[in-house]
Structure 1
Amino acid sequence: MRIRFLGWLLFIFCTSTIASSGSNLSRYSGNWNWSDAPSDRTFSLKLTIKNFVLTAQYCAVAKNGQKIDCDDEDNPNINGHFERTKSEALVNFSSFFDAHDGVARIELRNNHVIWHVIKNPVGGDFYAPKDAVLNRN
Protein backbone atom coordinates (compact mmCIF):
# COMPACT_ATOMS: atom_id res chain seq x y z
CA MET A 1 0.00 0.00 0.00
CA ARG A 2 2.79 2.43 0.91
CA ILE A 3 4.61 1.77 -2.40
CA ARG A 4 1.42 2.43 -4.36
CA PHE A 5 0.95 5.73 -2.48
CA LEU A 6 4.54 6.78 -3.17
CA GLY A 7 4.07 5.87 -6.82
CA TRP A 8 1.02 8.16 -7.04
CA LEU A 9 2.92 10.98 -5.36
CA LEU A 10 5.77 10.59 -7.84
CA PHE A 11 3.30 10.55 -10.76
CA ILE A 12 1.56 13.73 -9.54
CA PHE A 13 4.90 15.50 -8.99
CA CYS A 14 6.21 14.58 -12.45
CA THR A 15 3.06 15.61 -14.30
CA SER A 16 2.82 18.92 -12.43
CA THR A 17 6.52 19.62 -13.09
CA ILE A 18 6.11 18.93 -16.80
CA ALA A 19 2.99 21.08 -17.01
CA SER A 20 4.58 23.97 -15.13
CA SER A 21 7.76 23.88 -17.22
CA GLY A 22 5.64 24.21 -20.35
CA SER A 23 3.86 27.25 -18.94
CA ASN A 24 7.23 28.74 -17.91
CA LEU A 25 8.35 28.50 -21.52
CA SER A 26 5.25 30.31 -22.78
CA ARG A 27 6.21 33.40 -20.74
CA TYR A 28 8.96 33.93 -23.32
CA SER A 29 6.38 34.46 -26.08
CA GLY A 30 6.57 37.99 -27.41
CA ASN A 31 8.96 40.39 -29.13
CA TRP A 32 12.71 40.32 -28.51
CA ASN A 33 15.54 42.59 -29.77
CA TRP A 34 19.29 42.07 -30.11
CA SER A 35 20.67 44.13 -27.24
CA ASP A 36 24.33 44.49 -28.27
CA ALA A 37 23.91 44.77 -32.02
CA PRO A 38 26.57 46.65 -33.98
CA SER A 39 25.41 50.08 -35.10
CA ASP A 40 24.89 48.94 -38.72
CA ARG A 41 22.65 45.94 -37.83
CA THR A 42 19.46 45.00 -36.01
CA PHE A 43 17.87 41.64 -35.25
CA SER A 44 14.55 40.87 -33.63
CA LEU A 45 12.40 37.82 -32.99
CA LYS A 46 8.66 37.49 -32.54
CA LEU A 47 8.32 34.24 -30.54
CA THR A 48 5.27 32.12 -29.89
CA ILE A 49 5.69 29.14 -27.58
CA LYS A 50 2.76 26.86 -26.84
CA ASN A 51 2.86 23.28 -25.54
CA PHE A 52 6.64 23.08 -26.09
CA VAL A 53 6.25 24.10 -29.78
CA LEU A 54 8.10 27.22 -30.92
CA THR A 55 7.20 29.27 -33.96
CA ALA A 56 8.85 32.59 -34.66
CA GLN A 57 9.61 35.22 -37.24
CA TYR A 58 12.84 37.13 -37.40
CA CYS A 59 13.68 40.50 -38.81
CA ALA A 60 17.34 41.11 -39.63
CA VAL A 61 18.60 44.42 -40.99
CA ALA A 62 22.22 44.68 -42.15
CA LYS A 63 24.58 47.00 -43.99
CA ASN A 64 23.05 50.16 -42.54
CA GLY A 65 19.60 49.22 -43.81
CA GLN A 66 20.67 48.22 -47.31
CA LYS A 67 19.69 44.56 -46.63
CA ILE A 68 16.35 43.98 -44.94
CA ASP A 69 15.69 40.29 -44.27
CA CYS A 70 12.10 40.71 -43.00
CA ASP A 71 8.49 40.35 -43.99
CA ASP A 72 5.85 42.94 -43.10
CA GLU A 73 3.22 40.21 -42.98
CA ASP A 74 2.89 37.60 -40.24
CA ASN A 75 5.01 34.90 -41.90
CA PRO A 76 6.88 32.69 -39.40
CA ASN A 77 10.24 31.49 -40.75
CA ILE A 78 11.44 29.61 -37.64
CA ASN A 79 9.99 26.44 -36.12
CA GLY A 80 11.03 23.80 -33.62
CA HIS A 81 10.19 22.35 -30.24
CA PHE A 82 11.54 22.15 -26.72
CA GLU A 83 12.27 18.90 -24.96
CA ARG A 84 10.14 18.73 -21.84
CA THR A 85 13.09 19.08 -19.49
CA LYS A 86 15.12 21.73 -21.31
CA SER A 87 14.91 25.45 -21.96
CA GLU A 88 16.51 25.28 -25.39
CA ALA A 89 15.22 24.24 -28.78
CA LEU A 90 16.86 23.30 -32.04
CA VAL A 91 14.95 25.13 -34.75
CA ASN A 92 14.84 25.15 -38.53
CA PHE A 93 14.77 28.52 -40.20
CA SER A 94 14.72 30.20 -43.58
CA SER A 95 15.37 33.74 -44.71
CA PHE A 96 13.23 36.12 -46.71
CA PHE A 97 15.90 36.01 -49.45
CA ASP A 98 15.09 32.37 -50.40
CA ALA A 99 17.70 30.74 -48.14
CA HIS A 100 16.33 27.60 -46.48
CA ASP A 101 17.28 24.63 -44.28
CA GLY A 102 19.14 26.66 -41.65
CA VAL A 103 19.48 25.28 -38.13
CA ALA A 104 19.78 27.37 -34.97
CA ARG A 105 19.58 26.89 -31.23
CA ILE A 106 17.26 29.14 -29.25
CA GLU A 107 17.89 29.12 -25.52
CA LEU A 108 15.75 30.79 -22.87
CA ARG A 109 17.92 31.87 -19.98
CA ASN A 110 17.68 34.54 -17.25
CA ASN A 111 14.98 36.54 -19.06
CA HIS A 112 17.00 36.56 -22.29
CA VAL A 113 16.64 34.73 -25.57
CA ILE A 114 19.93 33.44 -26.92
CA TRP A 115 20.20 32.81 -30.67
CA HIS A 116 23.01 30.71 -32.15
CA VAL A 117 23.20 29.58 -35.78
CA ILE A 118 24.46 26.00 -36.07
CA LYS A 119 24.04 25.60 -39.83
CA ASN A 120 23.70 28.48 -42.29
CA PRO A 121 20.72 28.25 -44.62
CA VAL A 122 21.43 27.51 -48.29
CA GLY A 123 20.04 28.60 -51.63
CA GLY A 124 19.94 32.34 -51.01
CA ASP A 125 21.17 35.14 -48.78
CA PHE A 126 20.43 35.61 -45.11
CA TYR A 127 21.35 38.39 -42.72
CA ALA A 128 20.58 37.00 -39.26
CA PRO A 129 23.58 37.10 -36.92
CA LYS A 130 25.46 33.94 -35.99
CA ASP A 131 25.08 34.76 -32.27
CA ALA A 132 22.85 37.22 -30.44
CA VAL A 133 21.49 37.81 -26.94
CA LEU A 134 18.02 39.32 -27.12
CA ASN A 135 16.05 41.31 -24.54
CA ARG A 136 12.29 41.62 -24.32
CA ASN A 137 11.00 44.55 -26.35
Structure 2
Amino acid sequence: MKISRFKISSWFFVALSIFAGNVVYAENLSEISGSWTATENPFGKAEPMSVFDLKLHIIAGVVRGQYCYVTQYGNKIDCDPSDNENISGFISGSKARVTFFSFFGGTNGVAEITMAGGRLTWRVVKSPDGEFYGPLRATLSRSSPAKENASPSRANRRVIVDKAYFYSAPSDVSVTKAYAIKGDSVVVQEMSDDGRFIKIRYQGKKLFIRWIHCEDVDACKDVRRAPE
Protein backbone atom coordinates (compact mmCIF):
# COMPACT_ATOMS: atom_id res chain seq x y z
CA MET A 1 0.00 0.00 0.00
CA LYS A 2 1.38 3.35 -1.01
CA ILE A 3 1.12 6.33 1.30
CA SER A 4 1.35 9.71 -0.33
CA ARG A 5 3.80 12.32 0.82
CA PHE A 6 0.84 14.57 1.47
CA LYS A 7 -0.65 12.15 4.02
CA ILE A 8 2.71 11.68 5.72
CA SER A 9 3.18 15.44 5.91
CA SER A 10 -0.36 15.86 7.27
CA TRP A 11 0.18 13.23 9.96
CA PHE A 12 3.49 14.81 10.90
CA PHE A 13 1.88 18.25 11.14
CA VAL A 14 -0.94 16.94 13.36
CA ALA A 15 1.52 15.13 15.64
CA LEU A 16 3.71 18.21 15.85
CA SER A 17 0.69 20.38 16.69
CA ILE A 18 -0.39 18.04 19.48
CA PHE A 19 3.14 17.98 20.89
CA ALA A 20 3.40 21.76 20.70
CA GLY A 21 0.03 22.12 22.41
CA ASN A 22 1.17 19.93 25.28
CA VAL A 23 4.36 21.95 25.63
CA VAL A 24 2.35 25.18 25.81
CA TYR A 25 0.12 23.80 28.56
CA ALA A 26 3.09 22.42 30.49
CA GLU A 27 4.73 25.82 30.34
CA ASN A 28 1.52 27.43 31.53
CA LEU A 29 1.33 25.08 34.51
CA SER A 30 4.74 26.30 35.63
CA GLU A 31 3.05 29.67 36.10
CA ILE A 32 0.29 28.56 38.45
CA SER A 33 2.22 29.61 41.54
CA GLY A 34 0.37 32.38 43.33
CA SER A 35 -3.14 33.19 44.48
CA TRP A 36 -6.30 32.35 42.53
CA THR A 37 -9.94 33.04 43.30
CA ALA A 38 -13.44 32.22 42.08
CA THR A 39 -16.75 33.59 43.30
CA GLU A 40 -20.32 32.37 42.92
CA ASN A 41 -23.06 34.97 43.15
CA PRO A 42 -26.21 33.58 41.50
CA PHE A 43 -28.55 36.09 43.13
CA GLY A 44 -26.52 39.24 42.55
CA LYS A 45 -26.17 40.15 46.22
CA ALA A 46 -23.49 42.45 47.64
CA GLU A 47 -21.86 39.42 49.26
CA PRO A 48 -21.17 36.40 47.03
CA MET A 49 -22.73 33.10 48.04
CA SER A 50 -19.40 31.27 47.72
CA VAL A 51 -15.72 32.18 47.44
CA PHE A 52 -13.05 29.63 46.54
CA ASP A 53 -9.40 30.65 46.97
CA LEU A 54 -6.33 28.66 45.96
CA LYS A 55 -2.75 29.45 46.95
CA LEU A 56 -0.21 27.34 45.09
CA HIS A 57 3.53 27.10 44.67
CA ILE A 58 5.68 24.82 42.52
CA ILE A 59 9.22 23.60 43.13
CA ALA A 60 10.76 21.18 40.60
CA GLY A 61 7.37 19.98 39.40
CA VAL A 62 5.99 19.44 42.91
CA VAL A 63 2.76 21.32 43.65
CA ARG A 64 1.84 22.35 47.18
CA GLY A 65 -0.70 24.76 48.54
CA GLN A 66 -3.93 25.44 50.34
CA TYR A 67 -7.53 26.09 49.47
CA CYS A 68 -10.09 28.12 51.37
CA TYR A 69 -13.79 27.70 50.59
CA VAL A 70 -16.43 29.96 52.10
CA THR A 71 -20.00 29.11 51.13
CA GLN A 72 -23.62 29.61 52.22
CA TYR A 73 -22.82 33.29 52.75
CA GLY A 74 -20.19 32.51 55.36
CA ASN A 75 -22.10 29.83 57.25
CA LYS A 76 -19.84 27.04 55.97
CA ILE A 77 -16.09 27.71 55.92
CA ASP A 78 -13.63 25.01 54.86
CA CYS A 79 -10.45 26.90 55.76
CA ASP A 80 -7.54 26.90 58.15
CA PRO A 81 -6.60 30.21 59.83
CA SER A 82 -3.02 29.01 60.34
CA ASP A 83 -2.45 28.61 56.57
CA ASN A 84 -1.61 24.91 56.89
CA GLU A 85 -1.25 23.34 53.45
CA ASN A 86 -3.84 20.75 52.41
CA ILE A 87 -2.86 20.28 48.74
CA SER A 88 0.11 18.31 47.37
CA GLY A 89 0.91 16.63 44.07
CA PHE A 90 2.87 16.71 40.84
CA ILE A 91 2.74 18.18 37.35
CA SER A 92 2.26 15.45 34.77
CA GLY A 93 2.10 16.53 31.13
CA SER A 94 -0.63 19.11 30.62
CA LYS A 95 -2.13 18.93 34.11
CA ALA A 96 -1.29 18.78 37.78
CA ARG A 97 -2.74 15.91 39.77
CA VAL A 98 -3.00 16.59 43.49
CA THR A 99 -4.32 14.99 46.63
CA PHE A 100 -6.05 17.13 49.23
CA PHE A 101 -7.95 16.98 52.48
CA SER A 102 -10.80 19.03 53.89
CA PHE A 103 -10.38 21.04 57.07
CA PHE A 104 -13.68 19.46 58.15
CA GLY A 105 -11.91 16.10 58.32
CA GLY A 106 -12.40 14.57 54.87
CA THR A 107 -9.21 12.93 53.56
CA ASN A 108 -7.75 11.38 50.40
CA GLY A 109 -9.43 13.67 47.90
CA VAL A 110 -7.98 13.85 44.38
CA ALA A 111 -8.17 16.79 41.97
CA GLU A 112 -6.75 17.82 38.62
CA ILE A 113 -5.54 21.35 37.87
CA THR A 114 -5.28 22.68 34.33
CA MET A 115 -4.67 26.13 32.90
CA ALA A 116 -5.91 27.75 29.69
CA GLY A 117 -6.36 31.34 28.63
CA GLY A 118 -4.81 32.63 31.82
CA ARG A 119 -7.45 30.92 33.98
CA LEU A 120 -7.13 27.93 36.26
CA THR A 121 -9.53 24.99 36.40
CA TRP A 122 -9.87 22.90 39.56
CA ARG A 123 -11.71 19.60 39.04
CA VAL A 124 -12.27 17.04 41.77
CA VAL A 125 -11.97 13.50 40.39
CA LYS A 126 -12.41 11.84 43.80
CA SER A 127 -14.16 13.52 46.71
CA PRO A 128 -12.52 13.19 50.12
CA ASP A 129 -13.65 10.42 52.44
CA GLY A 130 -15.59 12.25 55.12
CA GLU A 131 -17.03 15.73 55.52
CA PHE A 132 -16.13 18.10 52.69
CA TYR A 133 -17.55 21.40 51.46
CA GLY A 134 -15.25 22.42 48.58
CA PRO A 135 -16.47 22.82 44.97
CA LEU A 136 -16.28 19.83 42.64
CA ARG A 137 -15.29 22.12 39.78
CA ALA A 138 -14.23 25.77 39.67
CA THR A 139 -12.66 28.15 37.17
CA LEU A 140 -10.40 30.64 38.93
CA SER A 141 -8.77 33.92 37.97
CA ARG A 142 -5.47 35.11 39.32
CA SER A 143 -5.77 37.53 42.25
CA SER A 144 -4.85 41.08 41.31
CA PRO A 145 -1.18 42.12 41.66
CA ALA A 146 -2.26 44.82 44.10
CA LYS A 147 -3.54 42.11 46.42
CA GLU A 148 -0.71 39.62 45.88
CA ASN A 149 2.24 42.00 45.94
CA ALA A 150 1.00 44.83 48.11
CA SER A 151 -0.72 43.06 50.98
CA PRO A 152 0.14 43.87 54.57
CA SER A 153 1.97 41.42 56.78
CA ARG A 154 0.10 38.16 57.36
CA ALA A 155 1.15 38.13 61.01
CA ASN A 156 -1.45 38.17 63.76
CA ARG A 157 -2.71 41.61 64.71
CA ARG A 158 -4.64 42.89 67.70
CA VAL A 159 -7.80 44.93 67.41
CA ILE A 160 -7.11 48.40 68.85
CA VAL A 161 -10.65 49.82 68.84
CA ASP A 162 -13.55 48.91 71.10
CA LYS A 163 -15.48 47.28 68.25
CA ALA A 164 -14.05 46.40 64.83
CA TYR A 165 -17.09 45.71 62.67
CA PHE A 166 -16.85 43.10 59.91
CA TYR A 167 -17.72 43.89 56.31
CA SER A 168 -18.79 41.33 53.72
CA ALA A 169 -16.97 43.32 51.02
CA PRO A 170 -14.40 46.16 51.10
CA SER A 171 -16.98 48.96 51.15
CA ASP A 172 -18.75 50.91 53.88
CA VAL A 173 -22.22 49.83 52.72
CA SER A 174 -21.44 46.14 53.33
CA VAL A 175 -21.13 46.37 57.11
CA THR A 176 -22.46 43.39 59.10
CA LYS A 177 -23.61 43.03 62.69
CA ALA A 178 -20.59 40.92 63.65
CA TYR A 179 -17.45 42.44 65.14
CA ALA A 180 -14.25 41.76 67.05
CA ILE A 181 -13.48 43.60 70.27
CA LYS A 182 -10.39 45.37 71.50
CA GLY A 183 -7.55 42.92 72.15
CA ASP A 184 -8.88 40.18 69.86
CA SER A 185 -6.35 38.62 67.48
CA VAL A 186 -6.93 38.51 63.72
CA VAL A 187 -4.84 37.19 60.83
CA VAL A 188 -4.34 39.73 58.05
CA GLN A 189 -4.86 38.27 54.55
CA GLU A 190 -4.82 41.07 52.00
CA MET A 191 -5.72 44.71 51.39
CA SER A 192 -8.42 46.26 49.26
CA ASP A 193 -7.45 48.09 46.07
CA ASP A 194 -8.11 51.48 47.68
CA GLY A 195 -6.09 50.58 50.80
CA ARG A 196 -8.93 51.31 53.25
CA PHE A 197 -9.88 47.75 54.15
CA ILE A 198 -8.02 44.55 54.94
CA LYS A 199 -9.30 41.01 54.67
CA ILE A 200 -8.87 39.08 57.91
CA ARG A 201 -9.49 35.71 59.47
CA TYR A 202 -10.95 35.77 62.94
CA GLN A 203 -11.57 32.72 65.11
CA GLY A 204 -14.35 33.33 67.61
CA LYS A 205 -17.14 30.87 68.31
CA LYS A 206 -16.85 30.22 64.59
CA LEU A 207 -14.35 31.17 61.91
CA PHE A 208 -14.93 34.48 60.14
CA ILE A 209 -13.26 35.60 56.92
CA ARG A 210 -14.31 39.20 56.48
CA TRP A 211 -13.08 42.73 55.79
CA ILE A 212 -12.39 45.40 58.41
CA HIS A 213 -11.05 48.95 58.32
CA CYS A 214 -7.25 48.82 58.34
CA GLU A 215 -7.02 51.39 61.13
CA ASP A 216 -8.96 49.04 63.43
CA VAL A 217 -5.83 46.89 63.72
CA ASP A 218 -3.28 49.61 62.97
CA ALA A 219 -2.31 47.95 59.67
CA CYS A 220 -2.70 50.86 57.22
CA LYS A 221 0.94 51.92 57.49
CA ASP A 222 2.10 48.38 56.66
CA VAL A 223 0.55 48.47 53.21
CA ARG A 224 3.12 48.31 50.43
CA ARG A 225 1.39 49.35 47.24
CA ALA A 226 2.37 47.90 43.92
CA PRO A 227 3.68 50.39 41.34
CA GLU A 228 0.95 52.02 39.28
- TM-score normalized by structure 2? 0.47
5 Å-filtered alignment, 1:121-132, equals: 121-123=128-130, 125-132=131-138
Kindly state the Cα deviation for residue 26 of structure 1 after the two structures are TM-superposed: 3.3
What is the alpha-carbon distance in structure 1 between the residues aligned to residue 96 and residue 29 of structure 2?
11
Q: Is contact 2:25-2:115 (8 Å) kept?
A: no
1:26-52, CA deviations, whole angstroms, 9 ceiling, x for partnerless residues? Answer: 3220000015x2331110100101211
Superposition RMSD on alpha carbons, in Å?
2.0
What is the alpha-carbon distance in structure 2 between the residues aligned to residue 62 and residue 55 of structure 1?
23
Letter in 2 for 1:135: S
What is the alpha-carbon distance in structure 2 between the residues aligned to residue 47 and residue 97 of structure 1?
20
Aligned counterpart in structure 2 of residue 116 of structure 1, from 102, 107, 123: 123
What is the alpha-carbon distance in structure 2 between the residues aligned to residue 24 and residue 116 of structure 1?
17
Partner of 1:98: 105
What is the alpha-carbon distance in structure 1 between the residues aligned to residue 34 and residue 60 of structure 2?
15
Aligned residue pairs, count: 115
**Structure 1 segments of 4 or more deviating over 3 A?**
20-26
- List gaps (5 residues or longer) in structure 1: 1-17
- TM-score normalized by structure 1? 0.76
Kindly state the Cα deviation for residue 93 of structure 1 after the two structures are TM-superposed: 0.6
What is the alpha-carbon distance in structure 2 between the residues aligned to residue 126 and residue 46 of structure 1?
18
- Relative to structure 1, the CA distance from residue 21 to residue 121 in structure 2 (aligned partners, 3 Å threshold; closer, same or farther) is closer
Q: Is contact 1:87-1:109 (8 Å) kept?
A: no
- List gaps (5 residues or longer) in structure 2: 1-22, 42-47, 144-228
Q: Is contact 2:107-2:128 (8 Å) kept?
A: yes
Q: Is contact 1:34-1:134 (8 Å) kept?
A: yes
Q: Is contact 2:25-2:116 (8 Å) kept?
A: no
Kindly state the Cα deviation for residue 107 of structure 1 after the two structures are TM-superposed: 0.8
Larger radius of gyration: 2
Q: Alignment partner of 2:84: what SS?
A: coil
Partner of 1:66: 75
What is the alpha-carbon distance in structure 1 between the residues aligned to residue 142 and residue 56 of structure 2?
10
